[in-house]
Amino acid sequence: MDKTHLILTFAHRGEAQSFLKELPFKSIAQDHYQWDDGAIIRSLIITGEGLENTTLKLAKTLGDQSANHLINLGICGHIPRAGEEFSIGQVIQVRTAMKAESTNDLVFKSYTTSSDTKLKLPQADLISTVNRVLDKKNHAKFSPFASLVDREAWAIGLVADHYQTPFSVIKVISDFADGEFCQMVKDDALIWSDSLLREYLKWEALLLDQEKESDESFTQDFPELYLTVSQERTLSNLLKALRLKGREVSSLKEETNYNEICAQKIHPKKKSKIFLESLKDILNPLEKELRDRLSQQTKLLSQAGFQVRFDQGFEKEVLHLNISLENEEEYKRAIRALEQYDFKKFQKTIRGDLLV
C-alpha cells in the first residue's frame, strides 16, 4: 500500500452532500466514490442506515482494498446527561462506540476511536442501537453509559478492529433521540454536512501530519547496511526499544563498532546480523551477562559434543543435554566432560549470582 488510503463512511447521502459537492470525488460504483490526488486516495461510501448495512458495505470495501484509517461522519441523537449537555448542530468527536441490542441489553465489547484532542472538539461516548431511539423513556437506561446515539459507529469499530485499522467518528447532533427529528434533519442537512466537512478537513490535516512523523524510518541512520525485510523490522524494533531507554544513534554506532562492522569483507547480510546482535546485547545487558556466563560454564560440555539447553526463563535449575555417540572415544570424552562439569556453579548462577 503505497498511497495513503482513507475511507469516509456516511449512512445517508444527505450527510455527505457537501463532501460530494466541494471535493472532487468521482463515482466508481453505486454509493462508492473516490478521489485520488496522487498521494492520498479517499474512498467515500454511503453505507445505508443501521449496523448490518454498515458492516456489510465496509467489510466489502476493506476486503477489496486495505486502508490507513476509517472515519465515520454523520448525524447522531443526543441524550443529555449530567455533565454532558450539547446543543443541536454541535459537532462532537466520539471517544468510544458501544452497541445496544435493546435498551436492556448493552454489548460488552466496545471500540475506542483514535480521537485526537488536537481537533479541539468536545468528546463523548456513543451507543449504536439496533433500532432507532425514539422515546425518552429509554434515556435513563442509556445515560449512565453515553450521551450520543446512532446506528452505525459501533459497526465501523467492529470492521476496523477486524482489519486492524484505526478509526475515528465525528458526529453532528441532529436531535434529542425523542422522535422529533425527521423534518429537522431534512431542513438542516446541508448545514450539518458543511460542519462535518469543515471538521473533516482539519482532522485529515492532523492525521497526515502524524503519519508523516511516524513514517520517518528508524533505519535511515544506517544507509551502509543491507537489510532484509525481517532484519529491517528487527532493527526498527531494537532502535525503538533503545530509544525508550534514552539511547542515541550516535552512541550506539560507537558502542557497536558500526564502522568496523561495515568495513568487514563479509556478506552484507552477515554484517547486518552482527550489528543486530550487538544492538541486542546493548538492549539486554543482563541477558548477555547470563548467556556469556553459562556459555563459559558449559564450554567443556559443548566441546565434548553435547547440545546444551536451559529451562525457558531459567525458572528451573535444569540443564538439558543432548548427545549422539558413535564410538567409545566419544563416549569417554562425554563422561569426562560430565565429571568435570560444576553443577553447583550452574545452580548459583541460576539463583542470581551474576557478576554484573
- Alpha helix segments (H runs only) across 28-177: 51-64, 139-142, 153-162
Shorter beta-carbon distance to other proteins: residue 108 or 229: 108
Shorter beta-carbon distance to other proteins: residue 37 or 85: 85
Q: Rounded to whole angstroms, how far apart are CA atoms 265 and 67? A: 43
C-beta of 143: minimal distance to other proteins in Å?
A: 7
Residue 286, judged by CB atoms within 10 A of its CB (0-12, 13-18, 19+), counts as exposed
C-beta of 350: minimal distance to other proteins in Å?
A: 5
Shorter beta-carbon distance to other proteins: residue 136 or 198: 136
Where are the strands (E) in the chain, listed by range?
A: 4-10, 26-29, 32-36, 40-46, 69-78, 91-102, 105-112, 123-129, 148-150, 167-175, 307-310, 319-322
C-beta of 23: minimal distance to other proteins in Å?
A: 32
Torsion of CA 123, 128, 129, 130, to 10 degrees: 170
Pick from 128, 115, 116, 198: nearest CA to 156: 128
Measured CA angle at 285 (ends 280, 291), to 5 deg: 85
C-beta of 282: minimal distance to other proteins in Å?
A: 11
C-beta of 116: minimal distance to other proteins in Å?
A: 13
Shorter beta-carbon distance to other proteins: residue 34 or 110: 110
Q: Which amino acid is at 120?
A: K
Shorter beta-carbon distance to other proteins: residue 204 or 221: 221
Shorter beta-carbon distance to other proteins: residue 265 or 344: 344
C-beta of 313: minimal distance to other proteins in Å?
A: 5
The contact set with other proteins (CB under 8 A) reads 81-83, 95-96, 98, 106-110, 112, 123, 125, 143-145, 241-242, 244-246, 283-287, 290, 312-316, 349-354, 356
